A and B are shown apart, each in its own frame.
Chain A
Amino acid sequence: MPAWSGELVVFGFASALALVFALLMVVVKTPVRSVLSLIATFFGLSVLAILLAAPFIAALQIFVYAGAILVLFLFVIMLLNLREEAAEKDDRPVQRTLGLLVALALGGLLAGATLRAPVPPRGVPTRASIPVPDEIPALGRLLFSDYLFAFEVLSLILLVAAVGALLLSKRRFE
């Protein structure tokens, strides 16, 4: 394996994209810019998913996350017109530094732990093994055999969530 394969270049670019825009999401003040940065992060993440032999998840990330969930966020932000809140002054330097320190400590801890964790042994080939040229048919077969019950429960959860969201946003709390 050459030291500088094309895969490595793509990985570097995608992860840099994801990390930079994730940082930007935390740093910027207005929610709209946060959402847009997060969309860019998701594009980087979906490239990483393709590198990990998960093209279906990559497509799902773009369609569902960037296309549906974050657009929903944008709708709500524009519906509520949060602009005047964005300029609010932050008056808590202690909590700010403490939060930053905790996040840094946890990040370092997790990175150390994941790097030090023993690499799991390759499992025996099962029905769930990843067949690289056509992962998606295998994923579909798995979804509608071993995970069929979870899939049906999931559709129920989505239905309940839709009804609940409708109820929550319609009723007036007086």
Chain B
Amino acid sequence: MTGAMPGVAPMGVPPGAFLVVATLLFAIGLAGVLLKRNALSIFLSIELMMNAVNLLFLTYARMHGDLSGQMIVFFVIAVAAAEAAVGLAIFVALFRTHRTLDVDKAALLKW
């Protein structure tokens, strides 16, 4: 796997466009986190933010011609799966005790 950078063919799309899409997705996810009241919707927005960052990693991996960025995305996706399992279990437990998923009503640890 040596040689004259076999992988870095010129990109048909300027990389800046990918970066802008990723940042916009991140901002949309942040808006969701700030505006939503349902814990599940907030969690979904966090997933969107993680995917925006994944897109950023992939773009930089492509710009560098380096696979390490894709490797990081692989690990992020796997950890996101673990996080989703635990998070959703917490929501189920929360719903059992509070009969709600409204984050304003489950504010025991807030202050």
Interface residues of A (CB under 8 A from B): 1, 5-8, 11, 15, 18-19, 22-23, 25-26, 31, 34-35, 38, 41-42, 45, 48-49, 51-54, 56-57, 60-61, 64-65, 68-69, 72-73, 76-77, 79-80, 82, 85-86, 88, 90, 95-96, 98-100, 102-104, 106-108, 110-111, 114-115, 119-120, 122-123, 125-132, 135, 138-139, 141-143, 147, 150, 154, 157-158, 160-162, 164-169, 171-173
Q: Is the CB of B7 within 8 A of A1?
A: no
Q: Is the CB of B12 within 8 A of A143?
A: no
Q: Is the CB of B20 within 8 A of A115?
A: yes
Please report the C-alpha to C-alpha distance between residue A18 and residue B54 in the assembled complex, in whole angstroms.
Answer: 14
Q: Nearest chain B CB to A61's CB is how many angstroms away?
A: 7
Q: Is the CB of B71 within 8 A of A76?
A: no
B residues in contact with A115, CB < 8 Å: 16, 19-20
B residues in contact with A42, CB < 8 Å: 51
Q: Which chain A residue has the least Cβ–Cβ distance from B9? A: A132
Q: Nearest chain B CB to A20's CB is how many angstroms away?
A: 10
Q: Is the CB of B24 within 8 A of A73?
A: no
B residues in contact with A65, CB < 8 Å: 47, 51, 77, 80
Q: Is the CB of A130 within 8 A of B77?
A: no
Please report the C-alpha to C-alpha distance between residue A115 and residue B2 in the assembled complex, in whole angstroms.
Answer: 31
Q: A54-B73, A129-B67 are in contact. Are A107 and B23 (CB under 8 A)?
A: yes
The 7 closest A-B pairs by CB, nearest first: A107-B27, A7-B12, A99-B34, A130-B7, A161-B82, A103-B31, A168-B89
Interface residues of B (CB under 8 A from A): 1-13, 15-32, 34-38, 40-41, 43-45, 47-48, 51, 54-56, 58-68, 70-71, 73-75, 77-86, 88-93, 95-97, 100-102
Q: Is the CB of A100 within 8 A of B35?
A: yes
List 30 interface pairs A-B (beta carbons < 8 Å), by A numbering. Answer: A11-B12, A11-B17, A19-B21, A25-B44, A25-B48, A26-B45, A45-B55, A57-B54, A80-B101, A82-B40, A88-B102, A90-B37, A103-B34, A106-B30, A110-B27, A122-B64, A123-B65, A125-B65, A129-B1, A129-B65, A130-B6, A139-B74, A142-B67, A165-B85, A165-B86, A165-B88, A168-B92, A168-B93, A169-B89, A173-B97
